[in-house]
Structure 1
């Protein structure tokens, strides 16, 4: 579950006493956080319906998911800085309006290509919207109110993830107005209008020393990542033609150009998208890789699991969402427990949580490999609960651990970069896992192997990457814990 996002940019001064903003302002901000996360998860239960309606391939569906995360991730820092400079309420309202419009475009998409483009735009508007929520919660409330507000935000994001699975299944299966899967996007239009009209009650705020937006750097990073993800998603289904390798080579060139540009901007005293000096810190470098690995396992599992239980085992969207709900509950429970475990046992508890996560994935692989039909899906519940619990134990405290290895003056920049790594990691995981999943599913089925068996084998094989990624992340966490955090 990818539901934890640290602030996209600079921390704000602590205020001793502030007038309490209207309760409706808090509700509108929480609603903004809810719909951005809900739309990440609700797509999972609608994937088979989308494929059937649009004639979409796995690569198309992979881009529907990865495109949202990629655009969301690479533009998060820019969204935060734009809010600091031009007004956070204004950018929140602009992001909400854009999210509603792009959701409408998703809902009326006539084909897979149109849906992919609309999802990229939707992710971009989410990147404008989401950083303002953290920033406004920090500047509008005093210390006590801020703790309460962020606690409610964490609970809201957790509920959004659960609702995306369960409520999303109900919405798709109910086929409201004969719209099928399209309704999961179209419902954002009235929600966005209500939130937009209510946003005027939110007090405006700006930063007097807001950083500039490094558009050339963001452009290079976005183009480089797109040229990497596109062949990874398309290659397995079209036989890896020459253009896929050329695209990956061009990606390396553009990402190298991005690094050179960021170095140049910093040397000239400008505001780079990411200060490369952060990576002189080995522990932060390792932590960034841990975030990429851990979050690459989340979205990819949801995608493959949705195809397994619906296309393979024949479950309805509601049944599929309900089946995964215990994992979401396990995640929320572990998120509440994790800070207490870290306080008692130290940061090594996070590495232990990653091992619990790996155990859940391993158990899920072993259980799935023996599935034959939908009547056996109850066997998936115990490993799913362990999976969700381990995910919560490792993901929830991980972000604070990584940011703790940089100096306080770089905390905002580090937080923004780690937020980006979360989303880019999700997009990368979908691409890599898709190669294995499509490869196994495309093999000729042997005698006596049912459709359910084919999907079960494809899922189990694809999740080997997830298992390896989490184990490597746990090893890197152990290395990090031995390093002394900044300022300690």
Structure 2
């Protein structure tokens, strides 16, 4: 079946599925919980350190254990959805995520907490790809813009509310649980969504192909060799082992691609179908996504600036991010209208606005005087522009990447995109974050921290410019007119 025929067939199926928006809402819960649990735990770290007497290394593992596992298994989670059904894999991931949240919430020591966070990351890796994949599976073409907008709004809401919600829950000491509530709050949400998910029927493959176990192992190894040193290396001063792991990553990646190509030639079902790289503009789209998420380090370094340079409390610092959260939530909801007005220029325009917000914030930080109300207003406006620009660009960028992908590849493409965003975030923390800490110094003072933030913001702006140029190239007619390999039959 050609791409055009399959898209038309998919649209007819979607039009007769009266529960498609309810299914999508269920899947979006996983999309919301995953980044929420990344941001919300940052506020709880001081309380965890006090109760357990945790070392800085323990606290780093609480964050990196989740992030690493999540990034490493996203492609596997996406492909499992293609093979066994997106609903089934989502529910399995949600159940695992809830169980891991319970382990974290009742952890008696930091070691158990770290283990729980690792299992949380695995559950999230199974959940999250199913949300983006479902957009290509259950919606007609005319509905995909709204679905992508809701997907982007969910990510924006999670990023914007995570630190604020964490600060509120920890400070309120709900039921006397202290920091543990930031994990246990997942349980009632997961219970409701699991019940809804079980009541809603979902399509599954009656004869699923055999899972490429060796491909899963090689994929996980390759990504672990990249993500682990990026996350842990900077924190530990780039020891020799971190550099050796990065050098070994291309070797593991080459073995992985060879294995997948061989399995495809033999008529099997590889974890990663090499033909996906033939999609028109796909590699360019991933490059754009890689530089687009360079803002990943921003949340870390700006939080440090607010608390260490300006002396704001964790709750006050969390509230400073509110304009960003509002912008990143509202913009995706308005993205269908932006798409009608700007067309293919939507993503570059959004990234341009985000870049202006970053540069404006750098100017505010450079000239900051805490006794001038105008500075507060300009800071809030800059943060809103960053969030609104990102929220405008993300749905359009995702649409450009997945727009011509047939349903058989939806989970795989979703896993690849989400993995790219996570690797980009890790790269940003390692490079931009490393630049920030190098300039701030070992015993940073307010002026040094402020200068370090300004330089880091300028570096982030440069990355966003590259992302904008890549999105412009991505929408060129020469890419759109190329024959797409999705017209080939997928095993």
TM-score (norm 1): 0.81
**What is the CA distance between 1:110 and its match in structure 2?**
5.7
Matched residue, 2:422:
423
Q: What's the CA shift string for 1:36-70, capped at 9, x where partnerless?
A: 34223323444555566666677765654454344
Matched residue, 1:5:
none
Aligned equivalents of 1:457, 1:256: Cα separation in 2? 41
Matched residue, 2:485:
none
Aligned equivalents of 1:407, 1:139: Cα separation in 2? 8
Matched residue, 1:79:
77
Matched residue, 1:7:
none
Matched residue, 1:268:
266
- 106-115 vs 22-31, which deviates more? 22-31
**What is the CA distance between 1:245 and its match in structure 2?**
2.3
Match of 2:319 among 306, 319, 322: 322
**What is the CA distance between 1:280 and its match in structure 2?**
4.3
Contact 1:347 1:481 in 2 (8 A): yes
Contact 1:59 1:233 in 2 (8 A): no
The reply to whether residue 362 of structure 1 matches residue 359 of structure 2 is yes
Aligned equivalents of 1:459, 1:112: Cα separation in 2? 31
Aligned equivalents of 1:54, 1:38: Cα separation in 2? 23
**What is the CA distance between 1:164 and its match in structure 2?**
1.9
Q: What's the CA shift string for 1:403-445, capped at 9, x where partnerless?
A: 3476887666444422322233223322333322332343355
The reply to whether residue 227 of structure 1 matches residue 225 of structure 2 is yes
Aligned equivalents of 2:141, 2:348: Cα separation in 1? 30
Aligned equivalents of 2:146, 2:350: Cα separation in 1? 26
Unaligned runs of 5+ in 2: 1-6, 483-491
Match of 2:467 among 473, 482, 487: 473
Contact 1:136 1:205 in 2 (8 A): no
Contact 2:154 2:329 in 1 (8 A): no
Q: Secondary structure at 1:272's aligned position in 2?
A: coil
Number of equivalences: 473
Matched residue, 1:482:
476
The reply to whether residue 350 of structure 1 matches residue 347 of structure 2 is yes
Aligned equivalents of 1:111, 1:296: Cα separation in 2? 34
Q: What's the CA shift string for 1:182-219, capped at 9, x where partnerless?
A: 32112112332343345432224312464543332232
Aligned equivalents of 2:8, 2:112: Cα separation in 1? 38
1:280-299 residue pairs with structure 2 within 5 A?
Answer: 280=278, 283-297=281-295, 299=296
Matched residue, 2:172:
174
The reply to whether residue 105 of structure 1 matches residue 96 of structure 2 is no
From the superposition, tell whether residues 388 and 135 of structure 1 become closer, same or farther in structure 2 (CA, over 3 Å): closer
Matched residue, 1:4:
none
Matched residue, 1:432:
431
Contact 1:358 1:467 in 2 (8 A): yes
1:125-136 residue pairs with structure 2 within 5 A?
Answer: 125-133=123-131
**What is the CA distance between 1:288 and its match in structure 2?**
0.7
Matched residue, 2:238:
240
1:438-457 residue pairs with structure 2 within 5 A?
Answer: 438-445=437-444, 449=445, 452-457=446-451
Aligned equivalents of 1:22, 1:400: Cα separation in 2? 19
TM-score (norm 2): 0.81
From the superposition, tell whether residues 282 and 185 of structure 1 become closer, same or farther in structure 2 (CA, over 3 Å): same
Aligned equivalents of 2:314, 2:443: Cα separation in 1? 28
Matched residue, 1:394:
393
